Amino acid sequence: MASESSSNAERAGEILVHLGNAGVDGMSLQALALALGDAKSATRRALVALSKRGFVEPAARYGHYRLGPAIFGLANRTTSVTELVRRYRPAVTEVAAITQQSSYLMVRAGFDAICVDMHEGTAFVQTLTGGIGGRVPLGIGPGTVSILTLLDDPLALSILDHNAPRFGQYNRADMAKVTRELDRARALGFSYDIGETYPDAGGVAVPIVSSRGNTAAAVSIAIPASLLTQKRAEEIAGVIRAAIGKCAPA
């Protein structure tokens, strides 16, 4: 996949994202270069640049690289997110407890949504989002659609346009389908999905109107499609909204 990496700093971010999905063993140079669509020499250069501050470090296997301690260290400094998690964790756990399903706290990160907190439910699909730290393109899944409702329309559309090439992997052949979901979510105040993203999987999400702007987030659940109807979705949305409401603004 040729990614339009204009700046070199973007490439650095791209590398970090890819290594984040790699695990302890990391990735080899050529695997990274292939994923980025760049030459090995260019990839390596960025790699050593990131190594200088410890954002990347050599893995156990020869010539493999993985995320370094600098990332971990910085995580405790992302106060905007840590505060968000601390405040809304009660909602995430409560929603999971009531619905008996896995619940997630998703926040916007560029063109994607990232899962920053979750609570495993008793049943069914676990980690549709790939667990904490998992990235999903905005427009894929109800959680991300709810986040989009918090954004200005031109911004939301530009994001959808950017992500359109990736929709095919998720039964989103045409973008119109996603924009319809977005419109519905704006009207209802929540977003739901019955087997439209993943077969047999459904979801419900309620956006979090952040007290002090800028961070767009949502609380969502994953639930078997067989258990979900529009009426049930409304009920669940009410549960989520109530749980969010209990989390007082700092």
Q: Which residues bind DNA (CB under 7 A)?
A: 6-9, 11, 28-31, 38-42, 44-46, 48, 58, 61-64
Q: Between residues 37 and 189, which has the closer beta carbon with respect to DNA? A: 37
Q: Between residues 161 and 183, which has the closer beta carbon with respect to DNA? A: 161
Sequence letter at residue 193: D
Helices H, strands E: what count in the chain?
9, 9
Q: Between residues 112 and 193, which has the closer beta carbon with respect to its own copies? A: 112
Rounded to 5 degrees, what angle do the CA atoms 134, 136, 142 make?
Answer: 115
Q: Which does 69 bind (CB under 5 to 8 A by kind): its own copies, DNA, none?
A: its own copies
Smallest gap, in angstroms, from Cβ of residue 94 to its own copies? 22
**Interaction site with its own copies (CB under 8 A):** 6-14, 16-17, 19-24, 45-46, 48-55, 57-60, 66-83, 107-112, 114-116, 131-135, 212-215
Query: SS3 for 193?
Result: strand
Q: Which does 51 bind (CB under 5 to 8 A by kind): its own copies, DNA, none?
A: its own copies
Q: Which does 208 bind (CB under 5 to 8 A by kind): DNA, its own copies, none?
A: none
Q: Which does 24 bind (CB under 5 to 8 A by kind): its own copies, DNA, none?
A: its own copies
Residue showing tokens 């894929």: 140
Residues written for the chain: 250
Question: 245 and 88 in contact (C-beta within 8 Å)?
Answer: no
Question: 117 and 82 in contact (C-beta within 8 Å)?
Answer: no
Burial status of residue 179 (CB atoms within 10 A of its CB: 0-12, 13-18, 19 or more): middle
